[in-house]
A and B are shown apart, each in its own frame.
Chain A
């Protein structure tokens, strides 16, 4: 069974204090690993898709990396507006299904 585990569950940072969020996964053939951001009361907002080990993608203060077993979301010099829950999800190659398997998320709070 495909599984995604995110850590930590919650993270508090001071503005400017860089850190990383972890996403460990097991999947029967990875088709893609997705990162989303979710603000309270809203739906997930797409950030990145990673396909193969060694791949990296960046967007503003965020950088996502991928290995064969985990992905990291690095946040450089975060600002209070980066506060949100960050979700990781995997999509398996098998079966042709488009479904995503999500982790429970990491709730990030950035204090000014």
Chain B
């Protein structure tokens, strides 16, 4: 059981470029969540997805950010035209349907995005 896999671990982008962050959930997990951790800040919820559906995107910035979880393949968090303020650690978590509360959400090791 490989756990939640995120790649890349580190990503450097110049201002204005696009960043694509990938997350493969644990085997058997069909729910995916993205969180952002800014320096000296707590983890902030961004979006909750199930296969082919966005369930809750209340934490996503209205512009430049999008997320998907296709039927096949990993979940993708996409940030267009990155700015320095997007520099943060982005964590993905996954869970089985109905079991998140009992067993917690399993987090990946994160992608550290640096915008230069």
> A residues bordering B, Cβ < 8 Å?
4, 31-32, 34, 36, 41-47, 49, 51, 87, 89, 91, 95, 97-105
Q: Which residue of A lies closest to B6 (CB)?
A: A43
Known: A31-B101, A34-B104, A44-B107. A99 touches B42 (CB 8 A): no
**Measured between alpha carbons, how far is A12 from B97 in the docked complex, in Å?**
39
Q: Is B102 an interface residue (CB 8 A)?
A: yes
Tally B residues with Cβ within 8 Å of A: 29
Partner of B4, one of A43, A91, A102, A105: A43
Partner of A46, one of B58, B104, B109: B104
Contacts of A97 in B (CB 8 A): 48, 55-56, 58
List 11 other contacts, CB 8 Å, given A44-B107, A51-B101, A99-B48: A4-B42, A31-B101, A43-B93, A43-B107, A43-B108, A46-B107, A87-B43, A97-B56, A98-B31, A102-B44, A104-B40
Q: Which residue of A lies closest to B107 (CB)?
A: A43
**Measured between alpha carbons, how far is A103 from B2 in the docked complex, in Å?**
28
Most buried by B among A41, A42, A43, A101: A43
Residues of B17-44 contacting chain A, CB below 8 A? 31, 33, 35, 40-44
> B residues bordering A, Cβ < 8 Å?
4, 31, 33, 35, 40-45, 48, 55-56, 58-59, 91, 93, 95, 100-110
B110 close to A43 (CB less than 8 A): yes
Contacts of B40 in A (CB 8 A): 104
B45 close to A46 (CB less than 8 A): no
B106 close to A46 (CB less than 8 A): yes
Q: How far is the CB of A52 from chain B (nearest CB, A)?
A: 12
Partner of A44, one of B43, B45, B103: B43
B100 close to A36 (CB less than 8 A): no
Partner of A99, one of B58, B101, B110: B58
